[in-house]
Amino acid sequence: MTAVYVHYPYCETLCPYCDFFSSTRSEDQGFFPALIRDLERWNHWLDEGPVRSLYFGGGTPSRMSVAGLRQVMTTVARLWGWPASPASPAEVTLEANPGDVTPALLAAWREAGVTRISLGSQSFRDEELQFLGRRHDAAQALDAARMIADAGFASYSLDLIFGLPGQSDRDLDESLDMLAALRPPHVSLYGLTIEEGTAFGTALAQGLFDEMKRDQWLGMYQRVCQWAQSLHYHHYEVSNFAQPGHESRHNRQYWRNRSWVGVGPAAHGQRLTAEGLERRGNPRSVRAWRQNLEATDRPFLAGAGLRESLSADAWLREACMIGLRDLELGIAPERWCGEFGIDDPALFAAIQAAKASGWIERSGACRLTSKGLLVADQVAERLLNATLGSDQLQGASVLGQVPRADV
Ligand code: SF4
């Protein structure tokens, strides 16, 4: 079983906080033929079917043609196949921009096989949406959420970004109240992170605004967690909350550090082997990606993108670090060591030390405690490096590090 990620890189405009690979050029006619070729190429590299999860991310996949979407669905079925049991169908997620959503488009996506929509709502306050450079307003986000529910999608997700410069608890509550009224099956509540190389990164360096202070930011994080808990959402990942059965299967494949395929420019994939992990990535440019595809039948020309190999030991450390994000499944280092026939006493000692500090609890798997969640970055770093005896952990930063804001 594997997962497939499809990167659709086109966006109407670029949001100032975004560091995903995206382009404001128009999709050209050759894009989907190249994407199909890319799927075929990756299938040579990783052909463990069936596909349990297919994810259209971007960019703005809600701008993708329905014909192109259908082509991808058909190709995935041909190359890997879908699960045989109708009781456990594949999860097919599409990220959507609120301004793009219409009842007709939602019906077409459902008909094409999409089972889950991830709506980039980001905020329900116009002022914040403008600051974030979004093309939609709060009314459009509300309308889109209602259209998705009315279209009969059994699962969908809305997201919010908190921790904006100058944002107050009351501002945050306004968006949370709207979210509570909509009560989607899944919510992603991300803290704003400002990355170098983005427009926000430049503005920050120029002193045009200040980032929210860490204490206030953490207070907001705790506020959103309490809000979700009060509505009986299951806090299953650092930034993700779900009603039972609506956890993102696709993202879990990432948090388990298992195998998946990534097609399209800048996408990457990985496969587990008897020796460890191999990771491959496509060039971060539509042109270079297309040239690479046209140049050879051999997958992954040297120098054309990411190529990385991890030993089983390195994979284990990384899997433990990433796996801590999953607050429900946690990490299972003994079992994972058994899979590869390896041992890692330093890692186990680091886990033991984190447990003694109250950051990790063990019942079968190891999971972050609520205390550990607030120092999650440092716990993860401890496991990755297994540097025992270093200074007492202080502060917290994991909560804003990895979360991605969808379109
Ligand atoms: S946040 Fe989404 S819509 Fe905005 S630039 Fe990034 S990928 Fe495009």
Q: How would DSSP label each residue in 81-127?
A: ---S-TTSPPEEEEEE-GGG--HHHHHHHHHHT--EEEEEEE-S-HH
Residue 167 token pair: 């944002």
Calculate the average pLDDT of the chain: 90
pLDDT bin (cut points 50, 70, 90) of residue 269 is very high
So what's the pLDDT on residue 86? 85
Pocket test for ligand 1, best of 15, 19, 24 (most atoms within 8 A of CB): 15
The CA R_g of the chain, rounded to the nearest whole Å, is 21
Q: Residues 192, 162: contact at Cβ < 8 Å?
A: yes
C-beta 199 within 6 A of ligand 1: no
Q: What are phi and psi of 387, to 5 degrees?
A: -95, 90
Q: How far does residue 238's CA lie from ligand 1's centre (Å)?
A: 22
Average pLDDT over residues 237-245: 96
Look up the pTM and report it: 0.92
Q: In the chain, what is the straight-line distance between the N-terminal and C-terminal CA atoms, in Å?
A: 27
Q: Is the CB of 266 under 6 A from ligand 1?
A: no
Q: Could you tell me the strand order of the sheet in which 268-272 lies?
A: 268-272, 276-281, 307-311
pLDDT bucket at 395, cuts 50 / 70 / 90: very low
Structure confidence by residue, pLDDT tens digits, 62-110? 999 999 999 999 999 999 999 998 888 999 999 999 999 999 999 999 9
Query: Which residue of 10, 14, 134 sits with most ligand 1 atoms within 8 Å of its CB, as the best mutation to test the pocket?
Result: 14
The strand pair at 2-8 and 261-263 is best described as parallel
> Measured between alpha carbons, how far is residue 183 from residues 6, 26, 146, 180 in Å?
28, 35, 10, 5
Residue 293 has pLDDT above 90, yes or no: no
Q: Enumerate the β-bridge partners of residue 338.
A: none
Q: Is the CB of 15 under 6 A from ligand 1?
A: yes
Which domains occur in the chain, in start order? 2-255 (3.80.30.20)
Q: What is the pLDDT of residues 158-175, one digit of tens each?
A: 999 999 999 999 999 999
Which residues face 4 on adjacent strands?
A: 54, 261
Q: Which of 18, 19, 129 to mutate to test the pocket of ligand 1 (most atoms within 8 A of CB)?
A: 18
